[in-house]
């Protein structure tokens, strides 16, 4: 026994064994970068890198679209991103076949080093969490409060918060760029915050909440959660000189920030819970207040206190980055195409009788709805959506898609298909008036057949079982806010500047695809709108105050 120990601990073995381990890891990794058997067709990979050098680094979805012309739009495209297997779906028909018809199979999310080794099980992000009893229950709780039926109860809140946003715009007539963006974000997350904990974001300072700090935490979290070289080249995680120490420290800092924000939301909800328990007339029981009640009354153990706060963070978080990018796209599109803006306004005035647009009017906005759909089609904020992962090995048309493979919807290519859309690069809201799906008027795109095959108007919100549950909330919030702005303000480009929304020079990809230079000007259409806006907000606030039990204008301004 002593002899074996001496051999293992000999100076030579102490050097060669680690080197052998590293060499074996490198060889194993290189083998994983090769295309597996029966993998969907795609370009030949380079050993060690896969197809990484062949992809457009800024917009890989453009490369996927080009490759689709070679390998077929309705054929899954196989890509090697380092050691990772990636399958790209370049058509809505493929999305329907895999994500819709086989939704139970394609219901997981990609494995991320971050989730497994940093957040572990005490910070379960719904967006990235795998299909499970926990995730199913989480979506149920969300839909109970923000689903299509539930949000009708929040209509007075949508009305009042959008009207309050107009007041803030009057108070800041010169707001541009970052200042205007800050006003937009405050309004945009007000309804989600009120729905989550019963408080507006700018009335949560006493809990330590700051909109600016929340946005920074959200951006850091999104950047940290994005797939990195550590996910693509696994053995890099074992190299201390690859920055792992600093990365883990940053990850822990972000984790603490997420937990702190969650605690702030939960503390606000506890105050509402106490008010409800004391019999205060509050018509809206927030998401977290209800979860607290159910945990107490039913001894519900599904959600821990940490889960509750985390749910609050993620609900408000998902109402921030992508919706902000989309709202910026809408504003800049209206500034770029004044004739479209004028037509939207004419419809709004016709429906409302000249008064401020209301939530009850939304279903009658046909052209405005077409505008909403066309912006999503033309400049999708999620051009690759959030990836799916099969829970088991699957075979489609003879191609093997193994469990754990990252499956991506190429939303950009789906929305810009020349087979499906006439002049796909042209911004044309009327295409959705001519055809309910905005597509070509031919037999292949018969609306009834497309409806029966579960075709979606757009894929910006995802598809299948992981489709965004907040899409109805986002649509009502953003459409109503935009409508009220167009009613009172003219949206114009800054003097001497042109609006650039081209993919080549006008857009950048961060958490969402957004304008590189967001800059528009709001011009009050007439001075009398100041009085009309103040009157509109006062009336809307009275109804909102009844919902939350507010007295004596305590939260009016």
* Residues making up the binding site for heme: 468
Q: 178: which 2 tokens?
A: 């970052």
Please, where are the H alpha helices in 298-408?
305-318, 321-336, 338-352, 366-378
Burial class, 169, CB count within 10 angstroms (exposed 0-12 / middle 13-18 / buried 19+): buried
Per-residue DSSP letters for 88-105? EE-SHHHHIIIIITTTTT
Rounded CA separation 171/175 (Å): 9
DSSP code of 226? S
DSSP code of 50? B
**Which sign, positive or negative, has the C-alpha torsion 516, 324, 554, 294?**
negative
Beta-ladder partners of 50:
46, 81
- Distance in Å from the first CA to the final CA of the chain: 80
- 500: CB partners within 8 A, 6+ apart: 506, 515, 516, 517
* 3-state DSSP assignment of residue 409: strand
> Pairing between strand 521-524 and 489-492?
antiparallel
Burial class, 147, CB count within 10 angstroms (exposed 0-12 / middle 13-18 / buried 19+): middle
Rounded CA separation 119/47 (Å): 32
Annotated binding-site residues read 468
């Amino acid at each position: 026994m002593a002899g074996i120990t001496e051999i293992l601990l000999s100076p030579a073995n102490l050097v060669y064994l680690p080197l052998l381990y590293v060499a074996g890891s490198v060889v194993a990794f290189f083998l994983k970068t090769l295309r597996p058997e029966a993998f969907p067709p795609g370009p030949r990979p380079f050993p060690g890198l896969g197809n990484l050098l062949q992809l457009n680094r800024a917009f890989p979805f453009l490369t996927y679209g080009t490759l689709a012309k070679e390998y077929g739009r309705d054929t899954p495209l196989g890509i090697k991103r380092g050691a990772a297997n990636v399958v790209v779906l370049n058509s809505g028909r493929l999305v329907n076949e895999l994500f819709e018809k086989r939704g139970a199979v394609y219901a997981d999310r990609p494995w991320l080093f971050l989730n497994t080794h940093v957040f572990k099980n005490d910070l379960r992000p719904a967006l990235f969490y795998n299909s499970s009893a926990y995730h199913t229950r989480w979506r149920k709780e969300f839909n109970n409060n923000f689903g299509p039926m539930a949000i009708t109860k929040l209509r007075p809140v949508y009305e009042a918060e959008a009207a309050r946003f107009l007041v803030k715009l009057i108070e800041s007539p010169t707001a541009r760029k970052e200042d205007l963006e800050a006003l937009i974000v405050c309004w945009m997350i007000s309804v989600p915050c009120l729905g989550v904990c019963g408080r507006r974001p700018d009335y949560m300072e006493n809990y330590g909440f700051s909109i600016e700090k929340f946005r920074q935490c959200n951006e850091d979290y999104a950047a940290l959660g994005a797939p990195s070289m550590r996910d693509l080249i696994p053995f890099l995680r074992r190299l201390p000189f690859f920055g792992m120490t600093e990365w883990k420290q940053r990850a822990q800092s972000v984790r603490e920030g997420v937990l702190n924000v969650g605690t702030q939301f939960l503390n606000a909800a506890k105050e509402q819970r106490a008010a409800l328990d004391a019999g205060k007339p509050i018509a809206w029981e927030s998401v977290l207040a209800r979860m607290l009640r159910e945990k107490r009354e039913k001894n519900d153990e599904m959600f821990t206190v940490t889960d509750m706060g985390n749910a609050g963070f993620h609900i408000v978080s998902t109402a921030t980055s992508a919706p902000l990018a989309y709202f910026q796209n809408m504003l800049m599109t209206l500034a770029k195409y004044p004739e479209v803006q004028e037509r939207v306004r004419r419809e709004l005035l016709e429906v409302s009788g000249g008064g401020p647009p209301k939530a009850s009017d939304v279903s009658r906005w046909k052209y405005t709805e077409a505008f909403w759909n066309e912006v999503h089609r033309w400049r999708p904020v999620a051009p690759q959506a959030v990836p799916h992962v099969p829970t088991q090995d699957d075979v489609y048309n003879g191609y093997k898609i193994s469990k754990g493979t990252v499956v991506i919807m190429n939303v950009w290519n789906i929305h810009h298909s020349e087979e499906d859309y006439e002049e796909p690069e042209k911004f044309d809201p009327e295409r959705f008036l001519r055809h309910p799906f905005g597509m070509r008027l031919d037999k292949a795109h018969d609306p009834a057949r497309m409806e029966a095959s579960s075709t979606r108007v757009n894929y910006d919100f995802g598809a299948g079982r992981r489709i965004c549950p907040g899409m109805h909330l986002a649509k009502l919030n953003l459409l109503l806010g935009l409508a009220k702005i167009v009613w009172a303000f003219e949206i114009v480009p800054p003097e001497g500047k042109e609006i650039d929304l081209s993919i080549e020079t006008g857009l950048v990809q961060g958490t969402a695809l957004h304008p590189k230079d967001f800059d528009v000007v709001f011009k009050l259409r007439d001075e009398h709108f100041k009085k009309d806006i103040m009157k509109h907000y006062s009336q809307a606030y009275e109804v909102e105050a009844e919902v939350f039990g507010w007295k004596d204008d305590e939260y009016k301004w």
